[in-house]
Structure 1
Amino acid sequence: MPAEIIGADGPTPVLHDPHVAIVVQKRDFIDRVVAATGARRTDARPIIEATLAQLGMVLSAGHTLAVPPLGRARINLERDARGGDVITLRLRRRAPPPA
């Protein structure tokens, strides 16, 4: 249950991070795609790597990326930091259809 701050307008919920970020490494990502498609790993891996490279190039060029079902990604902030670009994205996804 989230903590509350009692103010003049009544209790106000204090929002905390809902969870710690879980990092999915490229190897695990490829395994998930292979499992979802049933493709052979040797066939899927170069296609997935090329797709990820193209996503990176499009975003580095400053373009908005509209790729359903991922969503629409646009650059919110971009800066250079210690030998690499730092790109902050805003990703808008459609709500899943009701069950």
Structure 2
Amino acid sequence: MTAQGTGADLPTTTIHEPHAAIVVHKRDFVDRVVATTGARRADARPIIEATLLQLGLILSAGQTLAVPPLGRARINLERDARGGDVITLRLRRRPLLGAAPDENSASGPLHPGESDGNSLPNG
């Protein structure tokens, strides 16, 4: 006969507290790309919008998207809810060169903890 343990010998898992996501709207996204590239907003906007359209079409078609430095996105779950697609993605990214991996880091001109005042918590 074996004695049952009290559970103290089981491995512990760390559960991260949920946090509100910061939403980056299209206007803010365009501003970040314009600031990064130095292009004129009028020139960059149609290119950015066409890029976002193609990303949406590729993912809606169920295709895997491999675009460095964004990473490799593949569909984990897809279902139709109230006339629209709900797509759950798995995004695998490689660490950026010269940057220490930080789960709270944001790409673009803003640093973690900074806000441009236009982003809203997603709740």
- TM superposition score category, shorter chain reference: 0.7 to 0.9
Structure with greater strand share of residues: 1
Q: For the residues of structure 2 that align with 1:53 and 1:78, how far apart are their CA atoms?
A: 18
Q: For the residues of structure 2 that align with 1:40 and 1:28, how far apart are their CA atoms?
A: 15
Within a 5 Å distance, the mapping from 1:31-42 to structure 2 comes to 31-42=31-42
Q: For the residues of structure 2 that align with 1:87 and 1:81, how far apart are their CA atoms?
A: 10
**Secondary structure in structure 2 of the residue aligned to 1:46:** helix
Give ranges in structure 1 of 5+ residues lacking alignment. Answer: 1-6
Q: For the residues of structure 1 that align with 2:10 and 2:78, how far apart are their CA atoms?
A: 40
Aligned to 2:20: 20
Aligned to 1:92: 92
Give 1:68's aligned amino acid: P
Give 1:34's aligned amino acid: V
Aligned to 2:78: 78
Q: Which has the higher contact order (CA 8 A, sep 6+)?
A: 2
Displacement of 1:98 after TM fit?
5.1
Relative to 1, partners in 2 of residues 1:61 and 1:10: Cα closer, same or farther, differing over 3 Å? closer
Tell me which structure has the larger Cα radius of gyration. 2
Give ranges in structure 2 of 5+ residues lacking alignment. Answer: 1-6, 100-123
Q: For the residues of structure 2 that align with 1:97 and 1:9, how far apart are their CA atoms?
A: 40
Structure with greater helix share of residues: 1
Q: How many residues align?
A: 93
Task: Give TM-score scaled by structure 1 length.
Answer: 0.84
| Same amino acid, percent of matched pairs | 81
Give 1:36's aligned amino acid: T
Q: For the residues of structure 2 that align with 1:10 and 1:75, how far apart are their CA atoms?
A: 34
Displacement of 1:20 after TM fit?
1.9
Q: For the residues of structure 2 that align with 1:98 and 1:8, how far apart are their CA atoms?
A: 41
Displacement of 1:96 after TM fit?
2.8
RMSD: 1.8
